[in-house]
Structure 1
Amino acid sequence: MSSSGLRTPPKLRPDTLRVIPLGGLGDVGRNMASLEVNGKILLIDCGVLFPSDDHPGVDLILPGIDGIRDRLADIVGLVLTHGHEDHIGAVPYLLKLRNDIPVFGTRLTLALVREKLREHRVRNTDLREIDGDSLVLLDEFEIEFIPVNHSIPDAVGLFLRTKAGTVLHTGDFKMDQLPLDGRLTDLRRFAKLGEEGVDLFMVDSTNAEVPGFTTPEKDIQPALQRVFSASRQRLVVACFASHVHRVQQVLDEAVRHGRKVAYVGRSMVKNMAIARDLGYLRVPGNTLIDLKDVEDYRPEEVVIVSTGSQGEPLSALSRMANREHPAIELQPGDTVLLASSLIPGNENSVSRVINGLSRLGAKVVHKGNALVHVSGHASAGELLYCYNIVKPRNVMPVHGEMRHLIANAELAQATGVPVEHTIVVEDGEVVDLHRGNLSAVGRIDTGYVFVDGSTVGALSDTELTDRRILGDEGFITVVAVVNPHTGQLITGPDIHARGFVEDDAVFDGVRDEIAGALVQAMAEGVDDTHRLQQVVRRRIGRWVNKTYRRRPMIVPLVIHA
């Protein structure tokens, strides 16, 4: 069931649950959802989306927090399912709007959040630690936390009891039966909650198109061993800065092969220190070294664990690929291992980094040519299993692009969930649960909120379009000085271009046209600079489009003498 074409939602009825995805449905990132019952709002997750090539100059993209800005007083809590950036990265921006919102999370998740709040100088916050067996009563919501297995320790799912019905939210999860940390997804609890009755099942969709079951984490160890054994020089391993399990495997292999380990990248250093201090990362003695000491060891004695597996332009790995890193210079014969999956939208960035590393003579090992990473999300077989044991009345797929959401809905329907009880929505679409019936009732604006340097939300699509034009088409400035009283052109027009291969002399032919258009406009009574600048813009714009088939940004400046 789709909800396209919906308008402003009606007033919420009593004892009805209203669910509004503020991010994460339609994108892989910026996950956040608002759940409201009887005027009280519970938020689930608050993450960021990293910008693509279509967002020049943007640092981060936040979920649609503007959609709840006027409802901050009604928020009773924020529940965090785990500590990945796409689920916690925007917490400081939310708490800057209201710093006393109670925030619930597991030990590792809150430790990562505390560090973010410290960096953003957000104080006087209310952080409340929970675990996989916690039960929290929060106004209209009773929240039961459920341990789940994911690619970061301490992940949880949620079971909500409300006057409108029950909700089971998986969070990001998979069903690894031999997890590295021994933390299994609590399927017995899923089944028990299914017997109690699940009115709405909100299910991770990321791998819904992938058949079978997700490969266990332990199965990549042989591939890591082969990479270590084959490497005769320096070895660089790039992975997510929050992937504690993967770093643990790298540490274990480093010890086995007699290599020291150095972390590179601010987030990697910070997160691994937190994980070690809390006991989630076991670091054998005399294994870690500082980056500044790497040159004291032979290349074959060192492993560098780096950020940048997604090709982020300013990451440590990208700087290595561009020979711009201040401390590490890769040599021919070095090995670089990309131990991560590829987030949709990052394909071009990762390809650029791989090509750059290859150009330097490094051997690049990645998921495409070796089993060096497994997903943290449940594949189709696991999702089918969950649908069969939970037997939900209604299903709303979450976390993924539209194709993932649709594939997940089809899995639910294959297990017997009626089509009319499965709903596929994107960010901003409003869904109500009333007396066991799920329906799409409207839409609110949850557009991208851009972080650009120190500004949040000020950058609009208009400015982004201007930036794309500047990058793709170049720009032209035209300066002219006129006397509107006499109708004369005093000086100019002077034309300068950037982003054009051609010399500025190519514009000699259009200068007379612009000058004539200005004189004619003044003769017709046009005397204000704005209208004269529009005359210039139209004339040179038509000429450039006709001559070069380009649409550059045009900046005309007409000055009164």
Structure 2
Amino acid sequence: MSGPLPSTAHLGLTDPPPLPTGALRVVPVGGLGEIGRNMAVLEFDGALLVIDCGLLFPEADQPGIDLVLPDFSVIADRIDDVVGVVLTHGHEDHIGAVPYLLRLRADLPLIGSRFTLALVAAKLREHRIEPVLVEVTAGDHHQAGPFDTEYVCVNHSIPDALAVAVHTPAGTLVHTGDFKMDQLPLDGRVTDLATFARLGDAGVDLLLSDSTNAEVPGFVTSERSIGPVVDGVFARAGQRLIVSSFASHVHRIQQVLDSAVRHRRKVALVGRSMVRNMGLAQELGLLHVEAGLVVTLEEALQMPPAQVVLVSTGSQGEPLSALGRMARGDHAQVTITAGDTVLLASSLVPGNETAVYGVINGLTRLGATVVHKETARVHVSGHAPAGELRTLLQVTRPRHLLPVHGEWRHLRAHAAIAAETGMRADQVLLAEDGVVVDLVDGRASIVGRVPIGDVYVDGLGVGEVGEESLQARRILGEEGFVAITVVVEPTTGTLVRPVHLTARGFADDPTAFDPALALVETALRAALADGPVEAQKLSRVVRRTVGTWVAQTHRRRPMIVPTVLEV
């Protein structure tokens, strides 16, 4: 290691200065310090280029939230300056927020590979948006305003993934997207190290590189190693077999289909996204399906269980997914029975562990045998571990590295790998969402920070729920709710009717709050004894009295909503 790692403290950063003439600016809008919501904005000569536009799934402390989007306010007032949106591949954490971005401007050119654009187009049809699509393939150059973009083949857990090199007079930036270096991929598309080496020879001024597996030593296991394990699960399954995987993992599904052929089982696809994505993959020649292999779910349910395999969504424990409903016993068509085998052929996305284990326990309770990544090698990662990240650094020899796509521990681990290859601390830029990096005369440095927030999708609302509302939801969910209604006659300052109290989230006994009700009435009469009191002061008396009693009796801090009516 060549020296200490760069600092990760950005608390003192202020607004960035104006971009110098001839300089390239990079603003990570999402994906740094988190797994998901990947988005970066490049600026040169008055034009903006967006790389990826993904979403983040909510965590347990964000109740009621459906999705978390990048904060588009960074570019909202300059949306007409955006010359293109480069999409490195078709995973939701890279394309899922595109429909919301296009609400700002529907004709933004979307640049990506054939399969990536097919997935985006299908998603946009659901939002009734007709996109402008620009298809590129590995080796292509595409001019987007002042940005000369060059596309490089990379291997990932979805077909048609691309890295992008952005050439400008300020220098060359390379964004890897998500990648790994599987030497024997099912589709034969290996990560193009020769092109990365050529770019390195010409000079890479700033490398933005996937950090997800930076803590994992060594090199990735080939996707082909999954095939024999899946085949073994098929061989041992005496009755119905259900396989759950990401709906975009075409290579994983291909191996399931191949095993189904060998074991003479018919295949039914379950879940809208699974049916849609596999249909697109087959149309584009990325998925080989033997004639007569796939049947409808209705047909599969009429066949002997030992002759079918259901390929389903829900590998991450999503409550509304097909597998999630099966685990709860409320799927409209599929009922889990003793002797069924369920194969979860996927990883555990950070934050989803509780939901996934809930599904596993639910399936097991119903009598199924569940095979998952902790009991068999049924998944290999789509992200480069430390050995492959080190290889890429040695091949590209970047002047500066900006680790992206990872939580803080991943970004720091990537910085340590760079130090091992001889990069100095000032060459490695550890940043987070909103931190601004300028490339000036071949030198990259952090120059400031722009405000970045969380944009929540809550039902049909986008951005309407903020931290204040979320905090209220947390209190309601964790601490309970108390509503008190007080009716007073303002001229005489007397209670017209008994105080009414309603509590939720404490005890089933309706009399549990009777002591608090008595205390509230006593406190109100004391406050009104000297004459009329304004409603706001009475509300404070009620809130303080109830809050003290609940804290002492239940050790809770509920939401207390007093209502004072003057009649």
| TM-score, scaled relative to structure 1 | 0.98
- Give the whole-Å Cα distance in 1 for the aligned partners of 2:133 and 2:531: 66
Secondary structure class of the residue paired with 1:262: strand
- Asked if the contact 1:526/1:532 (under 8 Å) is kept, the reply is no
Report the Cα offset of residue 522 of structure 1: 4.1
Which residue, 226, 229, 241 being the options, matches 2:232? Answer: 226
After TM superposition, the structure 1 = structure 2 runs for residues 116-265 of structure 1, keeping only pairs within 5 Å, are 116-123=123-130, 125-265=131-271
Which residue, 15, 20, 26 being the options, matches 2:22? Answer: 15
Secondary structure class of the residue paired with 1:492: coil
Report the Cα offset of residue 451 of structure 1: 0.5
Secondary structure class of the residue paired with 1:34: strand
Percent identity over the alignment is 55
Report the Cα offset of residue 502 of structure 1: 4.6
Report the Cα offset of residue 173 of structure 1: 0.4
Q: Moved runs in structure 1, 4+ residues, more than 6 A?
A: none
Partner deviation per Cα, 1:112-138 (whole Å, 9 max, x = no partner): 111111101123x31111111210112
After TM superposition, the structure 1 = structure 2 runs for residues 69-80 of structure 1, keeping only pairs within 5 Å, are 69-80=76-87
Partner deviation per Cα, 1:539-561 (whole Å, 9 max, x = no partner): 10111011110111112221111
Partner deviation per Cα, 1:390-444 (whole Å, 9 max, x = no partner): 1110000010111001101110111011111101111111111111222112222
Report the Cα offset of residue 504 of structure 1: 2.9
- Give the whole-Å Cα distance in 2 for the aligned partners of 1:396 and 1:488: 68
Cross-structure match for 1:90: 97
Matched, 1:101 2:76: no
Report the Cα offset of residue 291 of structure 1: 1.2
- Give the whole-Å Cα distance in 1 for the aligned partners of 2:82 and 2:535: 50
After TM superposition, the structure 1 = structure 2 runs for residues 262-341 of structure 1, keeping only pairs within 5 Å, are 262-341=268-347
Cα distance, 1:15–1:524 mapped onto 2, change above 3 Å: farther
The one-letter code matched in structure 2 to 1:266 is R
Which residue, 46, 49, 66 being the options, matches 1:39? Answer: 46
- Asked if the contact 2:29/2:70 (under 8 Å) is kept, the reply is yes
Secondary structure class of the residue paired with 2:497: strand
Unaligned 5+ segments in structure 1 are none
Cross-structure match for 2:405: 399
- Give the whole-Å Cα distance in 1 for the aligned partners of 2:9 and 2:444: 12
Partner deviation per Cα, 1:78-134 (whole Å, 9 max, x = no partner): 0000000110011010001101111101111111111111101123x3111111121
Secondary structure class of the residue paired with 2:199: helix
Cα distance, 1:526–1:237 mapped onto 2, change above 3 Å: farther
- Asked if the contact 2:29/2:71 (under 8 Å) is kept, the reply is yes
The one-letter code matched in structure 2 to 1:31 is N
- Give the whole-Å Cα distance in 2 for the aligned partners of 1:423 and 1:507: 57
- Give the whole-Å Cα distance in 1 for the aligned partners of 2:122 and 2:66: 19
Partner deviation per Cα, 1:499-524 (whole Å, 9 max, x = no partner): 11252312222223212333344456
- Asked if the contact 2:492/2:532 (under 8 Å) is kept, the reply is no
Secondary structure class of the residue paired with 2:512: helix
Matched, 1:60 2:67: yes
- Asked if the contact 1:92/1:120 (under 8 Å) is kept, the reply is yes
Report the Cα offset of residue 525 of structure 1: 6.7
Matched, 1:542 2:551: no
- Range moving further from structure 2, 3-12 or 308-317: 3-12
Secondary structure class of the residue paired with 1:505: coil
- Give the whole-Å Cα distance in 1 for the aligned partners of 2:214 and 2:483: 51
- Give the whole-Å Cα distance in 1 for the aligned partners of 2:527 and 2:74: 46
- Give the whole-Å Cα distance in 1 for the aligned partners of 2:351 and 2:189: 31
Which residue, 423, 442, 445 being the options, matches 1:439? Answer: 445
The one-letter code matched in structure 1 to 2:51 is I
- Give the whole-Å Cα distance in 2 for the aligned partners of 1:119 and 1:174: 31
Report the Cα offset of residue 529 of structure 1: 3.2
Unaligned 5+ segments in structure 2 are 1-5
Secondary structure class of the residue paired with 1:387: helix
Secondary structure class of the residue paired with 1:349: helix
Secondary structure class of the residue paired with 1:154: coil
Cross-structure match for 1:367: 373
Cross-structure match for 2:478: 472
| TM-score, scaled relative to structure 2 | 0.97
Partner deviation per Cα, 1:293-338 (whole Å, 9 max, x = no partner): 2221111111111111111111111111100110100111111111
How many pairs are equivalent?
560
